[in-house]
Structure 1
Amino acid sequence: MPELKGGFRARNAAMLCQDETFRLYLDRRRAAKFQLDIPDGTHTVDDARDFILQACGIQSRAELDHNQDAAITYRQIMYHYRRWQHRQSRRGLGSP
C-alpha cells in the first residue's frame, strides 16, 4: 500500500500540536475528565499528536485527508477546542 500524502488537515493537525494553548486545553480536559490534578504544561507536542491519532483511530495525521471518519472526529476535536477557547477568552483565562 503506498504511503498516504498529507494535505490541509494533516498540516493543520501538525500545527495544532505545536500550539501551547491546544496543549493547555488537553491538560485541563484530561484533569476534568479524570478528576486529576494535572499541572498546566504537562502535555507535549508528541502527547498532542498521540491524542489526535488515538481519538481519530489512525496511525498517521496524513490519514486525516483520506479517511472520512477520522476527518469527522478531527472536526469534532477542533469544535470542542474552539468552544473551550471561546469560554476561556470570555473569562479572561486560558492563555499560557
Structure 2
Amino acid sequence: MNRDLCIMACIFCRDEAFRKWMTRDGPSINEARAKEIILGVCGVKSRNDLDTNPEAAARFHELVRRPFLEWKEGRP
C-alpha cells in the first residue's frame, strides 16, 4: 500500500509552520490538534485513509496540501 499522503500528513502535523498556517492569527495548536483538523477536513477517521480513499485524498490535496504550500511560498 502506498502511504505517501499519510506520511505527508504526519510530517505536516509536526511542522510548526503548518500548525501556524492552520490557525493563522489564532492561538497556536499542537500536533494532536493539527491531526484532528486534518481528519475533520478530509472526512476520515485515520490519516491512513488518505491513501485508500480517493475522495479524502482529493480533499487533502485541495483543502490542505495545496493551500498550505501556496501560503508557505507566499502566494495568495
Fold shared, TM-score > 0.5 on shorter chain: yes
**Any unmatched runs of 5+ in structure 1?**
32-37, 89-96
Provide the C-alpha distance between the structure 1 equivalents of 2:43 and 2:2, rounded to a whole number of angstroms.
Answer: 16
RMSD value, Cα: 1.7
Which residue identity lines up with residue 72 of structure 1 in the other structure? A
Aligned to 2:52: 66
* 2:35 counterpart of 1:85: no
The list of structure 1 runs, each at least 4 consecutive aligned residues, that deviate by more than 6 angstroms after superposition, is none
Are the aligned partners of 1:10 and 1:65 in contact in 2 as well (CA < 8 Å)?
yes
Provide the C-alpha distance between the structure 1 equivalents of 2:40 and 2:5, rounded to a whole number of angstroms.
Answer: 16
In the comparison of the two structures, how many residue pairs are matched?
Answer: 74
Higher-Rg member (1/2): 1
Report % sequence identity.
Answer: 28
Could you tell me the TM-score, scaled by structure 1's length?
0.71
Could you tell me the TM-score, scaled by structure 2's length?
0.88
